[in-house]
């Protein structure tokens, strides 16, 4: 889009509420809820095995206190319980991890698949106003955040909750008064958690931001290595990366300091709790309500809660971010896909008629005013005009991206028969063949090569190390802007549409291949209705009709020869364009 | 940056604001991986040594905790069963209570600061090793062979460097863990010789068993994770191409393809998780069985009156405390060493890459002598173009020449002129000296052969225009150059000075990027400027303005424009079009 899309809007993409997140997850668990119950049961049992050891040691202490010289019969039961708990803990840890992976990882895979499908299905005008930034961030950061954190955090939440409950129950069984010591730690943990959630996220975010700046500087430098070499920017870029890298060192250390303090506070709480439980135990012992075995069991039981609670605290900040990430992912998934389907008048011959169409992005500034236009099936129309004259907007309206603010557009082309190629040529991470076959999944390599040949780009695979199977895109083999434009044209050709809109589709291509590009454009527009926006006037000249626009209005239209005769704006443009060409003809 | 400014101190051992200026790391690309690991450890030894000493203290203190609890049970709790009054145990209660406080304090501080020092060691060496790798990649002499994918280089400069430095973990944590285990053995020996001996004999066996159980599982887990496609990155890439996908109505195809990627990633993740689950299960069961065995042995001794109940409690506590160091030791020694060696190898492979033969020249010319009068500044003598035809031409000082070549020919000529490729046949001479004989940096100071892709870097538009060489070029010249390139201030969101772009400059349109890159080349003001299709993304009218302004601006300097654009042909002194009118000249 000209002008408007370059502004980065803060996305109006929705964020799901906690309730919507819960409802969506519950729905996704349909048919797996029994498994969820089984999983929680495994965690409960795993937490239960943890209390066996302290209780048995406590009973051993009392058994020792009451026997002298011989091993009592009860000992063999205690031995069996210890060994059984150890083996059970191993089996439960194994089974729990597997069950959790199956459930959580599958749900996360479905979440990211639903997200991609929903994001790609968002109405185009949403993306035209919001920009792709927000949907991309949600795809990368939020999906990664949820995928990394949730499978890790869920068992910690479950196990530490169960451990607290089971230890609480066991302590109550020994003597409810032990709970005083245990209860003392809970507000301390809560305070620690509050401190951590207030301090840590900003530091972690700064750490990630520093890491990302460094990564961008490195990747940016490596991607633009030819420029770095030509302009002798090696030292400058190295210094820049070095400074960014040192910032990551500083933030990594601050992150570590925060974690160290969290450990310090958890450790202090542990000490206070142990003191309290021992104090209660000693008091009970001297009031004859507890045996030494009970006191031992209580102390060891308390110590059992420390590791799971610490593990939980350490992921709480990530868990918080993961829940926010879920809100952003599900916000898009739950977004109703309401694409304004272009009105079809029955037949599919590529006929488009605009009746007195006006358009405005913001409701007040008119971008298009009172445009009436009939494009015949198979006709190729060029839109010519200065930046901001409304040509891209007109093309977007004809392609059905925006509904007109006033007036009416009749189209005899179904939406899936309209193909738009813009200057924005994204090279997808994958092979060259995958990039092409996106438009026609069933195409084999021969068909793809044919399409490249038609658009004059058969040299692209030939120049790559593995031909059509070369990995391109982010981190892959770099493609020139020209090659990317050629790929876009080939893709449009493979899609075989009834109406094709080329909005500066060849702007990034090399002028060295002008003839090839004009040829490619002609090959692509041949036999279908076409709308061409190109600053290369030679492309406009070969269209059936040229429409010249200014300030959202059509100021002149006709074919190339007719417009030259009128000596209007187009004739002036053409004179400027062709002066170099004429001289060149003289030179040869 | 959150609530903490860059100047606030977050805690002890926080690194200084400015990056260190001294190099601690010695590297020789011919070394073996193990030798590089040794050098990494030696490079940051003060932090590593301090860190591991503190962690040794932590390991000992951790084992003393059950001893103190056992003493409290023996001296304070147990007497209650014998009917002793509370008053008579207040002395031991105070002493052992204080001991418990002391032990907790030591555990707390030694772990925090030991870990922190070790982590700084890792960060510090990572910082330097990564710079070393990037310095090699950015060496003006270049690297031999085809251009490498940026992603692969990035992986070595960040991922492999990090993993190579993880070797430090082998020196930071294991000493503390080993000493902790030895302390446990000594404590148990002191309680009863048989317990100590039993643990000393059984412990290595348990460690070896856990290692053996871990090897296949860990190997599988690492492999699965390495082969795991990053599902989030693929999702982001697809969504970033939203307009392209919607333009060709391929959203269903794209979503379907993503499902395949996502399911493959899921299979990989599950396989890795299952492997880890197996390892976790085995190590949990083994460690707990070992602890149970120690307690059972102690209980038998206690039943026969050879141990007090407090000692039994201590043994139980020690047995549980053994698990942590044991787990850590198995994990650290087994994984980190293997991981670090494989990555150190990849780092060394990159560092030892030979230089590009085109960048080996040493001729620096006579810098005091201006080139002004030289008849032929540049002479291209039978240079073989990729399609096999030969290019012959000379360019005199001060000329403005257009050469019309196909893309592959343009690239070859710019590569040769910027010391990145050696001609297969023929010669290219600058001042009568073959370009590959020139020192690459000197050559690039004299000849700026701009690549066609407009590579911008993070910073303002003006900063980008001034970016050539080590120091920013003159600001006024850059402003003039931006005007020559027909980029007006009003066209940018915040003018030349305040419009910021990220690396790649994707915030601006292709035409704007291209004109900034052109302005940068004009600002550099080299003796010979070689431009490749500098206005391909600019509209026809503006292109003509640029061509005319550039022609005027470059008067007295030499300029070659590789293009077929009519605008440049119109203003050129001379057109060299070897492909027009039959055979190349």
In a domain, B364, yes or no: no
**CATH number reported for the structural domain that contains residue B454 in this entry:** 3.40.50.300
**Closest to B469 in 3D by CA, of A227, A416, A146, A85:** A227
Contact residues on chain B for A223, CB-CB shorter than 8 A: 150, 455, 503-504
Residue B1 lies in a domain: no
Min Cα distance B300 → chain A (Å) is 7
**Selection from B7, B23, B114, B106 nearest residue B61 by Cα:** B106
Q: In this complex, do B291 and A86 lie within 8 Å of one another by their Cβ atoms?
A: yes
- Point out the residue among A7, A72, A127 whose CB comes nearest to the CB of B242: A127
Q: Rounded distance, CA B320 to CA A300, Å?
A: 10
| Pick from A97, A428, A267: nearest CA to B233 | A428
**What is the pairing mode between strands B528-532 and B558-562?**
parallel
Q: CB distance B18–A246 less than 8 Å?
A: yes
**Measuring CA to CA, how many Å separate A110 from each of A44, B241, B266?**
27, 21, 10
Average pLDDT over residues A417-441: 88
Summarize the confidence of residues B370-382 as an average pLDDT: 72
What pLDDT sits at residue B51? Answer: 95
Smallest Cα–Cα separation from B380: which of B394, B398, B390, B401? Answer: B394
Q: Which of A463, A507, A580 is facing B565, going by the closest CB pair?
A: A580
Task: Judge: B508–A477 Cβ closer than 8 Å, yes or no.
Answer: no
Nearest to B299 among A60, A240, A267 (CB): A60
Residues B279 and B411 in one domain: no
Q: Decide if A345 contacts A410 (C-beta within 8 A).
A: yes
pLDDT at B27 over 90: yes
Q: What is the pLDDT of residue B1?
A: 35
Contacts of B184 (CB under 8 A, 6+ apart): B63, B199, B318, B321, B322
Residue B17 located in a structural domain: no
Q: What is the mean pLDDT of the segment spanning A321-342?
A: 78
In terms of domains, do B301 and B396 share one? no
CA–CA dist B461, A60 (Å, integer): 77
Longest dimension (CA), chain B: 118
**Candidates B150, B324, B458, partner chain A, best to mutate (most A CBs within 10 A):** B150
Residues B296, A267: C-beta atoms closer than 8 Å: no
Q: Which residues of B touch A1 (CB under 8 A)?
A: none
Phi-psi region of A496 (alpha: psi -120 to 50; beta: other; left: phi over 0): left
Q: How far, in Å, are A449, A473, B519 from residue A459 at the CA level?
A: 10, 18, 31
Q: Which residue has the tokens 């809109």?
A: A501
Q: Which residues of B touch A203 (CB under 8 A)?
A: 2, 4, 10
Higher-confidence residue of B212 and B390: namely B390
> Which alpha helices (H) appear in A175-233, and where do they start and end?
178-223, 225-230
Residue B512 covered by a domain: yes
**Nearest-by-Cβ selection for B244 from A53, A90, A488:** A488
Residues shown for chain B:
585
Q: How many other CB atoms sit within 10 Å of the CB of residue A268? A: 15
Q: pLDDT, tens digit, for every residue of A140-163?
A: 778 888 888 888 888 889 988 999
Of residues A253, A238, A201, the one with CA closest to residue B16:
A253
Flag if B240 and A584 touch (Cβ within 8 Å). Answer: no
- Please tell me the distance from the alpha carbon of residue A462 to that of residue B224, in angstroms, as a whole number: 33
Q: What angle do CA A146, A151, A154 make, to 5 degrees?
A: 105
Chain B CB contacts of A415 below 8 Å: 249
- The residue in chain B having the minimum alpha-carbon distance to the alpha carbon of residue A414 is B249
Q: Distance between CA A393 and CA A40 in Å, rounded?
A: 55
More confident residue, B538 or A370: A370
CA end-to-end span of chain A, whole Å? Answer: 39
For residues B403 and B305, membership in a common domain is answered with no
Query: pLDDT tens digits, residue range B58-88?
Result: 999 999 999 999 999 999 999 988 888 888 9
Q: Between chains, do B15 and A246 touch, taking CB under 8 Å as contact?
A: yes
User: How many residue contacts between A and B have a Cβ separation below 8 Å?
Assistant: 557
d(CA B301, CA A71): 9
Q: Which residues of B touch A220 (CB under 8 A)?
A: 457-458, 502-504
Answer yes or no: do B418 and B297 share one domain: no
CB-CB neighbors (< 8 A) of A236 in chain B = 467, 469-470
Angle at A13 between CA A11 and CA A17, to 5 degrees: 130
Choice among A384-393, B233-242, B274-283 with the minimum mean pLDDT:
A384-393
Quick one: fold of A352-587? Rossmann fold (3.40.50)
Which of B21, B247, B294 has the highest number of chain A CBs within 10 A, making it the mutation to test binding with A? B247
Question: Rounded to whole angstroms, how far apart are CA atoms B230 and A147?
Answer: 11
Tell me what the mean pLDDT of segment B286-307 comes to.
91
Distances (CA, A) of B495 to A11, B88, B371, B498: 25, 84, 37, 6
Do the beta carbons of residue B381 and residue B428 sit within 8 Å? Answer: yes
Please indicate, yes or no, if residue B370 is contained in any of the structural domains: no
Same domain, B390 and B322: no
Strand partners, A549: A385, A554
**Chain A: residue nearest B494 by CA?**
A7
pLDDT, average across residues A327-345: 70
Interchain contact, A229 vs B142, CB within 8 Å: yes
Look at residue B7 and tell me whether its pLDDT is greater than 70: no
Whether B24 maps to a domain, the answer reads no
Chain A: give the shortest CA distance to residue B51, in Å. Answer: 14
**Which among B77, B248, B281 is the nearest to A419, CB-wise?**
B248
- The token pair at A456 is 């004059």
Model pLDDT for residues A553-567, shown as the tens digit of each residue: 999 999 999 999 998
Residues of chain B neighbouring A582 (CB-CB closer than 8 A): 566
Residues B268 and B130 in one domain: yes
Q: Which residue has the tokens 């555990």?
A: B107
Closest chain A residue to B407 measured between Cα atoms?
Answer: A512
Contacts of B263 in chain A (CB under 8 A): 109
Option in B309, B493, B503 nearest A217 (CB): B503
User: From CA A242, how far away is CA A230, in angstroms rounded?
Assistant: 21
Shortest distance between the Cα of A208 and any Cα of chain B, in A, equals 10
Give the closest-approach CA distance of A531 to chain B in angstroms.
Answer: 14
Task: Report which DSSP code applies to B583.
Answer: S
Compare A337 and A426 and report the one with higher pLDDT. Answer: A426
Chain A: closest CA distance from residue B425 (Å): 20
Together in a domain, B209 and B251: yes
Q: pLDDT at position A579, please?
A: 65
Q: What is the pLDDT of residues B415-435, one digit of tens each?
A: 999 999 998 889 999 998 999
pLDDT at position B369 over 50: no
B interface test, pick of A270, A493, A510 with most B CB neighbours within 10 Å? A510
Establish if B303 belongs to a structural domain.
Answer: yes
Rounded Cα distance between A163 and A173, Å, is 15
pLDDT score at A211: 86
pLDDT in tens, A165-179: 999 999 999 999 999
How would you class B156 by CB atoms within 10 Å of its CB: exposed for 0-12, middle for 13-18, buried for 19 or more?
Answer: buried
Kindly state the DSSP code that residue B437 receives in the 8-state scheme: G
Please provide the DSSP assignment of B328-380 as one string. Answer: HHHHIIIIIHHHHHHHHHHHHHHHTPPPPGGG---B---TTS--TT-S-SEEE
Query: What residues are paired with A548 via a beta bridge?
Result: A384, A556
pLDDT interval class at B584 (50, 70, 90):
very low
Cβ distance of A229 and B418 shorter than 8 Å: yes
pLDDT bracket for residue A342 (50, 70, 90):
very low
- The CA distance from B395 to the nearest CA of chain A, in Å, is 18
Please tell me which of the candidates A112, A220, A441 has its beta carbon nearest to residue B262.
Answer: A112
Q: Does domain A16-174+318-339 have CATH number 3.40.50.300?
A: no
Inspect the interface and report whether the beta carbons of A434 and B112 lie closer than 8 Å: no
Higher local confidence (pLDDT), B372 or B503? B503
Count of domains for chain B: 2
- What's the pLDDT at B218? 63
Alpha carbons B585 and B577: distance in angstroms, whole number: 8
Instruction: State whether B275 and B178 are in the same domain.
Output: yes
pLDDT at B585 over 60: no
Say if CB A335 and CB A122 are below 8 A apart: yes
Domain that holds residue B300: 33-351
B78–A495 CB contact, under 8 Å: no
Query: Could you tell me if the ipTM is greater than 0.85?
Result: yes
Q: Which two tokens stand for residue B109?
A: 């501080």
Would the pLDDT of A576 be above 90?
no
Cβ–Cβ gap B468/A120 under 8 Å: no
What percentage of chain A exceeds 70 in pLDDT? 91
What distance in Å separates the CA atoms of residue A22 and residue A42, rounded to the nearest whole number?
Answer: 23
Question: Which contiguous run of DSSP H or E holds residue B530?
Answer: strand B528-532
**Across chain B, what does the average pLDDT equal?**
87
| Residues of chain B neighbouring A587 (CB-CB closer than 8 A) | 569, 575, 577
Q: Given the DSSP bridges, would you call strands A380-385 and A545-550 parallel, antiparallel or unpaired?
A: parallel
pLDDT band for position A508 (50/70/90)? low
Residues A227, B455: C-beta atoms closer than 8 Å: yes
Distance from CA of B88 to the nearest CA of A (A): 11
CATH code, B166: 1.20.1560.10
Choose, out of B69, B75, B239, the residue to mutate when testing the contact with A (most A CBs < 10 Å).
Answer: B239
pLDDT in tens, A193-237: 999 999 988 898 888 889 888 988 998 898 889 899 999 999 999
Nearest in space to A282 (alpha carbons), one of B55, B73, B54, B295 = B73
**Burial environment of residue B583 by CB neighbours within 10 A (0 to 12, 13 to 18, 19 or more):** exposed
Q: How far apart are alpha carbons A450 and A443 in whole angstroms?
A: 10
| pLDDT greater than 80 at residue A68 | no
Quickly state the pLDDT bin for B395 (edges 50, 70, 90).
very high
The answer to whether B104 contacts A434, with C-beta atoms less than 8 Å apart, is no
Q: Which residues pair with B169 in a beta bridge?
A: none
**CB contact (8 A) between residue B238 and residue A423:** no
User: Do residues B342 and B441 both lie within one domain?
Assistant: no
Which residues of chain B have a CB within 8 Å of the CB of A130? none
Among A30-39, A96-105, A369-378, B381-390, which is the least confidently predicted range? Answer: B381-390
pLDDT at B333 over 80: no
Please write down the long-range contacts of B228-232, taking CB distance under 8 Å and 24 or more positions apart: B228/B265, B228/B268, B228/B269, B228/B272, B229/B261, B229/B264, B229/B265, B229/B268, B230/B265, B231/A109, B231/A112, B231/A143, B231/A147, B231/B261, B231/B262, B231/B265, B231/B266, B232/A112, B232/A139, B232/A140, B232/A141, B232/A143, B232/A144, B232/A147
**Is residue A486 within 8 Å of A447, Cβ to Cβ?**
no
Q: Do B108 and A116 touch (CB under 8 A)?
A: no
pLDDT digits (tens, 9 = 90+) for A280-315: 999 999 998 889 999 999 999 998 888 888 888 888
Question: For the segment B494-552, what is each residue's pLDDT rounded down to a tens digit?
Answer: 899 999 888 878 777 778 889 999 999 999 999 999 999 898 878 777 888 899 999 99
Q: In what order do the strands lie in the sheet with B433-434?
A: B390-395, B378-384, B427-430, B433-434
3-state secondary structure A24-54: HHHHHCCCCHHHHHHHHHHHHHHHHHHHHHH
Q: Which residues in chain B touch residue A441, judged by CB atoms under 8 angstroms apart? A: 253, 256
Residue bearing tokens 């991607």: A223
Q: Does residue B583 form part of some domain?
A: no
pLDDT at A12: 67
Say if the Cβ atoms of A132 and B242 lie within 8 Å. yes
B412 and B380 in contact (C-beta within 8 Å)? no
Return the pLDDT at A7. Answer: 28
* Residues B113 and B58 occupy one common structural domain: yes
Q: Could you give the CA distance from residue B158 to residue A215 in angstroms, rounded to a whole number? A: 8
Chosen from B536, B546, B575 to mutate, greatest number of chain A CBs within 10 A: B536
């Amino acid at each position: 889009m000209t002008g408007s899309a370059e502004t980065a809007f803060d996305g109006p993409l929705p964020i799901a509420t906690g309730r919507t997140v819960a409802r969506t997850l519950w729905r996704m668990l349909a048919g797996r809820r029994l498994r969820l119950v089984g999983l929680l049961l495994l965690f409960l049992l795993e937490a239960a095995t943890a209390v066996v050891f302290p209780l048995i040691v406590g009973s051993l202490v009392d058994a020792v206190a009451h026997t002298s010289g011989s091993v009592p019969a009860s000992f063999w039961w205690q031995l069996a319980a210890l060994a059984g708990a150890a083996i059970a803990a191993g089996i439960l840890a194994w089974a729990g991890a597997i069950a959790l992976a199956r459930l959580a990882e599958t749900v996360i895979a479905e979440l990211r698949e639903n997200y991609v499908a929903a994001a790609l299905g968002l109405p185009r005008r949403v993306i035209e106003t919001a920009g792709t930034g927000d949907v991309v961030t949600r795809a990368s950061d939020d999906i990664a955040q949820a995928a990394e954190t949730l499978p890790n955090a869920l068992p910690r939440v479950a196990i530490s909750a169960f451990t607290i409950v089971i230890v609480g129950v066991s302590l109550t069984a020994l003597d409810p008064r032990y709970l005083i010591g245990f209860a003392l730690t809970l507000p301390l943990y809560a305070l620690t958690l509050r401190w951590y959630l207030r301090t840590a996220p900003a530091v972690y975010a700064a750490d990630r931001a520093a890491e990302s700046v460094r990564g961008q500087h490195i990747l940016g430098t490596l991607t633009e290595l030819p420029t770095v070499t030509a302009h002798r920017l090696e030292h400058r870029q190295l210094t820049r990366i070095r400074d960014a890298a040192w910032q990551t060192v500083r933030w990594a250390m601050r992150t570590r300091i925060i974690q160290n303090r969290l450990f310090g506070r958890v450790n202090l709480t542990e000490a206070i709790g142990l003191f309290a439980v021992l104090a209660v135990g000693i008091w009970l012992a001297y009031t004859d309500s507890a045996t030494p075995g009970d006191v031992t069991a209580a102390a060891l039981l308390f110590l059992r809660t420390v590791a799971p609670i610490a593990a939980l605290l350490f992921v709480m900040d990530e868990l918080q971010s993961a829940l926010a990430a879920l809100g952003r992912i599900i916000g898009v998934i739950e977004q109703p896909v309401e694409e304004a389907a272009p009105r079809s008048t029955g037949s599919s011959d590529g006929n488009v008629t605009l009746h007195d169409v006006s358009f405005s992005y913001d409701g007040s500034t008119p971008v298009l005013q009172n445009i009436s236009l009939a494009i015949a099936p198979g006709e190729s129309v060029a839109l010519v005009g200065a930046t901001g004259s409304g040509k891209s907007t007109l093309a977007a309206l004809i392609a059905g991206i925006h509904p007109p603010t006033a007036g009416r557009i009749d189209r005899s082309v179904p939406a899936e028969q309209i193909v738009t190629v813009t200057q924005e040529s994204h090279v997808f991470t994958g092979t060259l063949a995958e990039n092409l076959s996106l438009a026609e999944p069933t195409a084999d390599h021969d068909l793809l090569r044919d399409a490249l040949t038609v658009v004059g780009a058969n040299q692209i695979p030939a120049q790559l190390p593995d031909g059509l199977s070369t990995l391109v895109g982010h981190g892959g083999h770099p493609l020139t802007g020209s090659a990317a434009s050629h790929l876009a044209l080939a893709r449009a050709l493979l899609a075989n549409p009834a109406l094709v809109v080329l909005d500066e589709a060849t702007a990034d291509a090399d002028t060295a291949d002008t003839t090839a590009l004009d040829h490619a454009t002609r090959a692509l527009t041949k036999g279908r209705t076409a709308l061409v926006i190109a600053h290369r006037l030679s492309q406009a000249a070969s269209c059936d009709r040229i429409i010249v626009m200014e300030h959202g209005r059509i100021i002149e239209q006709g074919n190339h020869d007719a417009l030259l005769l009128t000596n209007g704006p187009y004739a002036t443009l053409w004179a400027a364009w062709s002066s170099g060409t004429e001289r060149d003809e003289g030179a040869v | 940056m959150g609530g903490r400014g860059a100047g606030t101190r977050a805690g002890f051992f926080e690194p200084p604001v400015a990056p260190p200026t001294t190099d601690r790391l010695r590297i020789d690309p011919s070394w073996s991986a193990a030798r590089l690991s040794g050098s990494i450890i030696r490079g940051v030894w003060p932090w590593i040594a301090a860190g591991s000493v503190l962690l040794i203290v932590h390991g000992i203190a951790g084992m003393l905790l059950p001893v103190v609890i056992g003493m409290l049970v023996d001296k304070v709790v147990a007497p209650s069963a014998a009917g002793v009054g509370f008053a008579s145990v207040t002395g031991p209660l105070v002493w052992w209570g204080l001991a418990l406080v002391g032990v907790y304090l030591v555990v707390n501080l030694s772990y925090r600061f030991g870990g922190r020092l070790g982590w700084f060691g890792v960060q510090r060496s990572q910082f330097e090793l990564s710079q070393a790798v990037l310095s090699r990649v950015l060496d003006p002499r270049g690297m031999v062979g085809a251009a490498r994918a940026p992603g692969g280089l990035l992986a070595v400069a960040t991922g492999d460097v990090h993993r190579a430095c993880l070797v430090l973990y082998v020196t930071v944590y294991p000493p503390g863990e080993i000493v902790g285990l030895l302390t446990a053995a000594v404590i148990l020996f002191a309680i009863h010789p048989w317990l100590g001996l039993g643990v000393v004999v059984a412990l290595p066996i348990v460690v070896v068993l856990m290692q053996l159980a871990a090897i296949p599982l860990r190997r599988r887990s690492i492999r699965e994770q390495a082969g795991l496609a990053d599902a989030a990155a693929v999702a982001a890439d697809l969504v970033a191409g939203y307009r392209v996908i919607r333009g060709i109505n391929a959203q269903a195809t794209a979503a379907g393809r993503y499902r395949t990627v996502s399911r493959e990633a899921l299979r990989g993740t599950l396989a890795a998780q299952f492997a880890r689950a197996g390892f976790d299960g085995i190590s949990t069961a083994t460690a707990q069985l070992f602890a149970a065995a120690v307690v059972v042995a102690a209980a038998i001794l206690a039943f026969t009156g050879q141990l007090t109940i407090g000692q039994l409690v201590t043994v139980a506590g020690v047995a549980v405390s053994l698990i942590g160091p044991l787990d850590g030791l198995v994990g650290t020694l087994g994984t980190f060493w293997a991981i670090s060696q494989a990555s150190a190898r990849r780092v060394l492979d990159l560092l030892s890459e030979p230089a590009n033969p085109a960048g080996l020249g040493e001729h620096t010319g006579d810098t005091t002598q201006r080139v002004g009068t030289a008849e032929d500044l540049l002479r291209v003598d039978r240079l073989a173009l990729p399609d096999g035809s030969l290019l012959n031409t000379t360019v005199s000082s001060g000329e403005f020449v257009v050469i019309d070549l196909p893309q592959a020919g343009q690239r070859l000529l710019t590569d040769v002129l910027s010391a990145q490729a050696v001609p297969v046949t023929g010669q290219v001479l600058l001042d009568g000296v073959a370009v590959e004989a020139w020192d690459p940096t000197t050559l690039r100071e004299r000849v700026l052969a701009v690549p066609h892709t407009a590579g911008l870097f993070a910073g303002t538009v003006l900063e980008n225009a001034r970016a050539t060489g080590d120091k920013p070029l003159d600001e006024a010249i850059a402003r003039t150059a931006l005007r020559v390139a027909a980029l007006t201030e009003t066209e940018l969101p915040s003018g030349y000075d305040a419009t910021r772009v990220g690396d790649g400059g994707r915030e601006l349109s292709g035409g704007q990027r291209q004109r900034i890159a052109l302005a940068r080349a004009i600002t550099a003001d080299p003796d010979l400027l070689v431009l490749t299709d500098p206005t391909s993304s600019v509209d026809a009218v503006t292109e003509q303005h640029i061509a005319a302004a550039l022609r005027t601006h470059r008067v007295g300097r030499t300029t070659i424009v590789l293009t077929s654009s009519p605008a440049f042909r119109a203003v050129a002194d001379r057109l060299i079009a070897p492909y027009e009118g039959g055979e190349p000249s």
